[in-house]
Structure 1
Amino acid sequence: MRIVGIRRDGGVEVAALSEDGTAVTVLAPLEEFWADAAGHLAAQPSGEPLPVADVEVVPPVLPGARVVCIGLNYLKHVAEGSFREEDLPPYPTLFARWTASLTVDGAEVPVPPDEDGLDWEGEVMAYVGSPLVDATPEEALAAVVGYSTFNDLTARRAQKLTSQWILGKNGDRSGPLGPIVPAAEVGDLRDGLRVQTRVNGETVQDGRTDEMVYTVGDTLSLISRTFTLRPGDLLATGTPSGVGYARTPPWLLQPGDTVEVEVERLGVLRTTVVGNEYRKA
């Protein structure tokens, strides 16, 4: 099953995408879905299919959801960047995205005016399905109801203006998400799912999720000891090596480029980069 959000008649609903991607079947309104995500994912869609062309596909994400992201979570990625001389910290580097930065498969993402381009970061996104307070890693992992592809498209110049990364990680429409796949169909990321990123057909990242330094369960457990994680919250799990800014010379995405993130069992997420003039489109 692949899960997307759709907007029609002013409201957002969560729907199952057909195998060929041409139709959706509504599961529940957005808030109702996240009140019992596991139950809705376990049930077979039974409504009348709607043509995708007749609805607007949007992220199936609550407006108040927290999007927590792990930075530097693959050893080879740490080694290729400006942190290569530093010891691996005992706890993950965490930063935040706002839900307003999220978008969907097929979106056009603009390059901000002060940037030489955007950098790609193919990732897996995890979705929390039940409250977590002071959870053990095992409890935290069990609360994950699904995963999706994610591209943490980054404005590197803005990211490096300060020690905090939020500015460079929240460009307009810079967080495309693929459809959610139920966790039961994905399995444990520690078993190693292949994560690849391609730019205009050329493979630029090729890693596996068992290379992660900080696991999903450990990280969600850590977060839950400071603030309560709620159903619908998201965790971006970090990117493998092969990002553009670390290359010689640096390689950044330009208007007209197409970037694809493919994750085993999750599918392919495609994004087109456009110029700054499309920011208000």
Structure 2
Amino acid sequence: MKLVGFARNGFRHIGALEGETVRDLGTARQFFADTHAGLAADGGEIFAVDDVELAPAVPETSRIFCVGINYRSHAGESKELAGIEEPKLPMIFGRWQQTLVVDGTPVPLPPNEGLDWEVELAAVIGETIWQADEQTALKHVLGYAAFNDLSARKKQLATPQFTVGKNADFSGPISPVITSDELGDVVSNPGLRVTTHVNGQLMQDGNTRDLIHSVERIIAYITDTLTLQPGDVIATGTPGGIGAGRKPPVLLGDGDVVLVTVENVGSVQNPIVKRT
């Protein structure tokens, strides 16, 4: 099943994507209160996909846990840029749900700097998890989305703390569709191709089998300290090929269009615009 977020009567809803139509499964708050019941629900008003306003397919209360330096192909450029060694444990930082946007939403440039692209596989949690077992952690994943961790790179690298550089306004494009079909071990073996295109030019080309820390390991690591809630998002990191790592560096500017794609999961494309 593919799930899609959309706005209706001032509320965020979750729907089942069925061909060119969306079947309403209720508000995001209702759906994520019991995702098993939500997935099994019959009925629901049906809309044409073209007639709904797409929205992130997570509740407004979701938390976004991002994993830094989690591809071996990215570790070298990260060491050169920030002096950070390949992490022995998942390096977690937070994003706010308010940064999430969907396909087609213009992303404004922060003053005095460009943005950098980061294609990522995002896992959406489907149920409350505490002290997950690594061997069974994937059972708690509702589905996956494509995510672009657009970064205000100058701010990010200015200090050891990532928060401001990773939370620029509207800088978290996420595909409005969650692929809830069980991908299982495919994420690690044989893996999923992840790519970034800027103005049609391929900039990143990686595969999730290159992940340093697997999705299940990340879930187990996080939940040994805090409880994950339904609708929380784990952005699993980006491969090599970021703009700041190029020689010379390349950052997104006004008029650029960036597309990130995760094989068998989805894509999200956004124009970059000057802030007015």
Under TM normalisation by the shorter chain, which class is it? Answer: over 0.9
Contact 1:26 1:45 in 2 (8 A): no
The amino acid of 1:59's aligned partner reads: P
Partner of residue 207, structure 2: 208
Question: Residues of 1 paired with 2:109 and 2:73: CA distance?
Answer: 27
Specify every segment of 5 or more residues in structure 2 that has no aligned partner in the other structure, as ranges: none
Partner SS state of residue 167, structure 1? coil
Partner of residue 171, structure 1: 168
Q: 1:103 aligns with which of 101, 104, 109?
A: 101
Residues paired across the two proteins, number = 273
Partner SS state of residue 33, structure 1? helix
Contact 2:22 2:47 in 1 (8 A): yes
Question: Residues of 2 paired with 1:119 and 1:186: CA distance?
Answer: 30
- Deviation of the 1:276 alpha carbon: 1.2
Contact 1:144 1:183 in 2 (8 A): no
Partner of residue 92, structure 1: 90
Specify every segment of 5 or more residues in structure 1 that has no aligned partner in the other structure, as ranges: none
Partner of residue 3, structure 1: 3
Partner of residue 134, structure 1: 131
Question: Residues of 2 paired with 1:74 and 1:49: CA distance?
Answer: 41
Question: Residues of 1 paired with 2:108 and 2:79: CA distance?
Answer: 26
The amino acid of 1:16's aligned partner reads: A
Q: 1:74 aligns with which of 55, 62, 71?
A: 71
Deviations along 1:120-163, whole A, 9 cap, x unmatched?
00011001111111111123221011000000011111112221
- Deviation of the 1:38 alpha carbon: 3.7
The amino acid of 2:2's aligned partner reads: R
Deviations along 1:168-207, whole A, 9 cap, x unmatched?
1111111011110014257631120111111111111111
Partner of residue 273, structure 1: 272
State how 1:2-151 maps to structure 2 within 5 Å: 2-20=2-20, 23-41=21-39, 43=40, 46-83=43-80, 87-115=85-113, 117-151=114-148
Deviations along 1:41-72, whole A, 9 cap, x unmatched?
3x486434213444321112222221100000
**Percent identical:** 42
Contact 1:262 1:268 in 2 (8 A): yes
Partner SS state of residue 222, structure 1? helix
Aligned pair in 2 of structure 1 residues 139, 83: CA closer, same or farther (>3 Å)? Answer: farther
Partner SS state of residue 160, structure 1? helix
- RMSD (Å), alpha carbons: 1.9
Question: Residues of 2 paired with 1:27 and 1:187: CA distance?
Answer: 28
TM-score (norm 2): 0.92
Contact 1:122 1:239 in 2 (8 A): yes
TM-score (norm 1): 0.91
